Structure 1
Amino acid sequence: MLTRRHLILAATAAPLAAGAQGGAYADQLSDALGAPVEPRVAHKEALAVMAQLHARADRLLQAQGLRRGSVAERLRALAARPQHLYPDDSAGRDRAVADMNKRLEALRPRLVQAFGELPMPAGEVRRMSAADEARGRAGYREPPAYYVDLKAIRTRPAWTLPSVAFHETNPGHLLQMATQRAGLGGQRYASVFGEAWATYAEQLAADLGAYRADPLAEIGFLQWMLFRVGRIVIDTGLNAHGWTREAAVARMREIQGQSIAFITMEQDVERMIRSPGGYAAQGLGALGLIRMRPADRSRWPAFHRAVLQTGPAPFFEIEDAVRAL
């Protein structure tokens, strides 16, 4: 299982607030994060995290009998195994949603270790209406529920969905949104904070033992983290290293295997071209939260309260709030 010390920018790396590189993209990336970032340093550090994720995934995939080929090739092979796919019918979608809710129920008692007395909102995953599914509506939140996109359910192996539940509900977006609605959030707004927090929440769920007895679901968690960290690599590759669209898509495929998100890799690359720095900042924010979190678990509730009470402020303000604990 990857712990906090595995998912940091690098054990000896410069902190998140490194000196900014000149140029428009460096400014865009730093502005999105709310802390100065040198894009080429971020790119290099993300590659180091990616290598750690691949190494753990390699060991787990070998245990599944997948020993040949790159990690990406083996992730694609695992995703094609029919025993991990839900039926493309109403019963299959009901089962997928029920499985996601079981994951949330199993994790909920452990959240007190991380959040102490912080009120935890009720949360659940629900199916979309048939009409929403038919028109291809993306997943959406109406607290306390997240309505999951399962239109292409045969491309959503069961082992990829637990992280979605944690990301979208508790301890992810739902908790973050409830805290902000309660008036605890900061007044200065950083748009990447919500996604950075929800990605961090996926790692937190893993650290709380969500996958302790389920190596397949841990593979899903790792693939989602490869998607998030891969966005740092691709965003900085496109905008600081001058990669072409085609090179970026090919690199993304090498990093994460098949598309695990609810969009294609080509669409994701287009997003990063249209919004330089934004998607890299999301991943950097998540890695920054992992790096800032105390090693002493007894201090986690205070850390999380400080982060949630300060967010969605720029990350330099979050770092200041955590440093003051």
Structure 2
Amino acid sequence: MNKLILLCTAVILFSCKNENTEKEESSQTNFSTLLKEYNEEGYELDPMMATNAGDSRFNTKFPNVLSEEYKAKKKAYYTKYKTVLTQIDTSHLTETEKMSKAVLLWDCNINLEAMTFNTDLMPLDQMWSINLYFNQYAGGTNAQPFKTVQDYKDWLVRVDAYLIWLNSAKKMMKKGMETGYVLPKSLIVKVIPQFEALAELPVEEHLYYAPIKNIPDNFTKEEIKELTEAYRSMVETKIIPAHKEMVTFLNGDYLSSGRMSSGITDTPLGSEYYAHQVKKYTTTNMAADEIHELGLKEVSRIRSEMEAVKEEVGFKGDLKAFFMHVRTNKDLMPFTERSQVIAFYDSIHQVMKPQIDKLFGNQPTTAFEVRRTEPFREKSAAANYNPGSIDGSRPGIFYTPIPEVEKYNIYDKEDLFLHEAIPGHHFQISLAQENDELPDFRKTLWYSAYGEGWALYTESMGKELGLYKDPYQYFGMLSGEMHRAVRLVVDTGLHAKGWTREQAIAYSLDNEAESEASITSEIERYMANPGQALSYKIGQLKIRELRAKSEELLGEKFDIREFHNQVLETGCIPLQLLEQKIDTWLMAGK
């Protein structure tokens, strides 16, 4: 009898175990399917994201994001997945899946919140708007492929779709003029030249004609003739006229309606929108006043370090005079050819290579290049990183504007390379794309507080990487950090404390080594996208805090390579989730 009972009990337990295992596997399968569906539908909403990821299925698509139809579809998308996520039991999910659920829920919430604000009535600006983003693909050197005849034809279709958006943008701006949703005049005058540059002949020198100059050798004569005629017609009859119309509109009615104020709270969007932007870009619940005070403290701290460098190099004069000295020192402007600038960055990389292995256990395999920023945008563009494709076929690219090579100052360029290239954006983005454990949507997700916070954190690693041996280069790092600390003050000043553009410029000039022209461009950047500038310093300070906590708690067991692995393996996530992850790792380590 006892043996029979034991046997029955074993059978029941085995059956229950199998049932639980099956439930767990089913739960994981269903969740994995959900994430794939989210990503697939996301590609349909944002086909450029698919192109960037190396997925060619949507290369002709460019939705009119300003249309009511599109906005309804977008709202339904985020609402559907938010509802489903709240019903998912996490007990059978892996740690990576639990993180994916938390990240996706945060993403749905912040996007739905963003849709409650009528930002579509101001669809253009001098730095962030869709036209500038789209134009980067037109020359044939970005993610949009130009390798086959079909690739060339796909772009023609996508251009037609883009022009529909451009026409809608003008209609929205006209409506915005009537309701108080309008850009400051100081930004409008920066937008106009960007359209003028694409409203001019000759066709052969036009950005949108550039792919024809690089037609692959394997195309037939007939194919080359057909495509050449099609691209010439596209530029002459579509692109140039559309941009001429926009130039006329911007120079006329729109400029005359432009506002003199600087902050976003002077539009109907109001303080509620700025609070949303702060949350979006810092991924925290910090208030604008709290961030402003933090910025003032950081500016004071960094100024004291700058004073020390000034004394080290023996400069006589105050810090503001030293800023001018650094800006105008011809010894820090050694180049006569643009190729020398590219070679300079390559030399920085070579110096770092022996130290990288000591600091990073996981390193990306995605190739990397340094290129000059395209001439059409380099006068108003900052240096930036363009991610490689997920399949590795396209390298990560660090773009640096070189409008006047003789004035290219190198005092802060070691610092810049760390941020925009290695181990900043290139490591962080490429490692996420190469991580097979991450679902596809997390390989292309971007949270500024994490991404820019990581990049700013890497700037402080210069000495560990064999750089900053020249005190001017170390001063460049301090200048970079000061630049981000100043952002905390001036961004909140502009959008929460009633500062004018001129006040913000003056404060920056008092505390930064940048030129007035550069600072003016930066202030106008913050005016165009409230809150984005806060992400860098907030993210950096959080990662520094987590490293210090890890060093203290783990003591001799602390491994800097493993810490960096822990931070980077998740891809971009909100800072609150990153902190929870590191705390869990620390408890396991103890």
Q: TM-score, normalised by structure 2?
A: 0.46
Question: Per-residue deviation at 1:99?
Answer: 2.3
Correspondence list, 1:193-232, <5 A: 193-211=450-468, 213-232=469-488
Runs of 5+ consecutive residues of structure 2 not aligned to the other structure: 1-270, 389-394, 586-590
Q: Is the 8 A contact 1:171 1:198 kept in 2?
A: yes
Counterpart CA distance in 2 for 1:34 and 1:94 is: 39
Q: Which has the higher contact order (CA 8 A, sep 6+)?
A: 1
Question: Per-residue deviation at 1:74?
Answer: 0.9
Counterpart CA distance in 2 for 1:117 and 1:281 is: 25
Q: Which is helix-richer, 1 or 2?
A: 2
Question: Per-residue deviation at 1:164?
Answer: 1.5
Report the counterpart of residue 80 of structure 1 in structure 2.
Answer: 328
> Aligned in 2, Cα 1:126/1:281: closer, same or farther, shift over 3 Å?
closer
Report the counterpart of residue 39 of structure 1 in structure 2.
Answer: 288
The share of aligned pairs that are identical, in percent, is 25
Counterpart CA distance in 2 for 1:111 and 1:60 is: 26
Report the counterpart of residue 237 of structure 2 in structure 1.
Answer: none
Counterpart CA distance in 2 for 1:37 and 1:28 is: 11
- Aligned residue type for 1:265: I
Q: Is the 8 A contact 1:238 1:245 kept in 2?
A: yes
Report the counterpart of residue 312 of structure 1 in structure 2.
Answer: 572
Report the counterpart of residue 10 of structure 1 in structure 2.
Answer: none
Report the counterpart of residue 510 of structure 2 in structure 1.
Answer: 254
Report the counterpart of residue 265 of structure 1 in structure 2.
Answer: 519
Question: Per-residue deviation at 1:226?
Answer: 1.1
Q: Is the 8 A contact 2:424 2:454 kept in 1?
A: yes
> Aligned in 2, Cα 1:82/1:238: closer, same or farther, shift over 3 Å?
same
- Aligned residue type for 1:244: T
> Aligned in 2, Cα 1:319/1:162: closer, same or farther, shift over 3 Å?
same
- Higher mean C-alpha deviation, range 181-190 or range 283-292: 181-190
SS of 1:159's partner is coil
- Higher mean C-alpha deviation, range 156-165 or range 112-121: 112-121
Structure 2 residue 301 is the aligned partner of structure 1 residue 52: yes
- Aligned residue type for 1:314: P
Aligned residue among 441, 447, 453 for 1:190: 447
Report the counterpart of residue 67 of structure 1 in structure 2.
Answer: 316
Q: Is the 8 A contact 2:452 2:535 kept in 1?
A: no
Aligned residue among 166, 173, 178 for 2:430: 178
SS of 2:462's partner is helix
Structure 2 residue 347 is the aligned partner of structure 1 residue 102: yes
Runs of 5+ consecutive residues of structure 1 not aligned to the other structure: 1-22
Question: Per-residue deviation at 1:77?
Answer: 1.3
Q: Is the 8 A contact 2:363 2:431 kept in 1?
A: no
- Aligned residue type for 1:200: Y
Question: Per-residue deviation at 1:122?
Answer: 4.9
Counterpart CA distance in 2 for 1:27 and 1:154 is: 42
Counterpart CA distance in 2 for 1:265 and 1:198 is: 21
Question: Per-residue deviation at 1:135?
Answer: 6.1
1:95-144: CA deviation from partner (whole Å, max 9, x where unpaired)? 3322222222111221223212444655443445xxx3476364453624
1:9-42: CA deviation from partner (whole Å, max 9, x where unpaired)? xxxxxxxxxxxxxx62334212322121122222
SS of 1:311's partner is coil
SS of 2:334's partner is coil
Report the counterpart of residue 115 of structure 1 in structure 2.
Answer: 360
Correspondence list, 1:146-161, <5 A: 146-161=398-413
> Aligned in 2, Cα 1:243/1:135: closer, same or farther, shift over 3 Å?
closer
Give the number of the structure whose alpha-carbon radius of gyration is greater: 2
1:230-288: CA deviation from partner (whole Å, max 9, x where unpaired)? 1111111222222111101111111113249xx73223222222322221122211221
Question: Per-residue deviation at 1:216?
Answer: 1.4
1:38-76: CA deviation from partner (whole Å, max 9, x where unpaired)? 22222222222222221111121222232312x233122
Counterpart CA distance in 2 for 1:218 and 1:155 is: 20
SS of 2:378's partner is coil
> Aligned in 2, Cα 1:136/1:275: closer, same or farther, shift over 3 Å?
closer
Counterpart CA distance in 1 for 2:438 and 2:560 is: 18
Report the counterpart of residue 243 of structure 1 in structure 2.
Answer: 499
Aligned residue among 536, 539, 545 for 1:282: 536
Counterpart CA distance in 1 for 2:298 and 2:559 is: 25
Q: Is the 8 A contact 2:283 2:449 kept in 1?
A: no
Report the counterpart of residue 16 of structure 1 in structure 2.
Answer: none
Question: Per-residue deviation at 1:317?
Answer: 0.8
Q: Is the 8 A contact 2:431 2:568 kept in 1?
A: yes
> Aligned in 2, Cα 1:324/1:170: closer, same or farther, shift over 3 Å?
same
RMSD: 2.6
> Aligned in 2, Cα 1:104/1:44: closer, same or farther, shift over 3 Å?
same
Counterpart CA distance in 2 for 1:126 and 1:100 is: 10
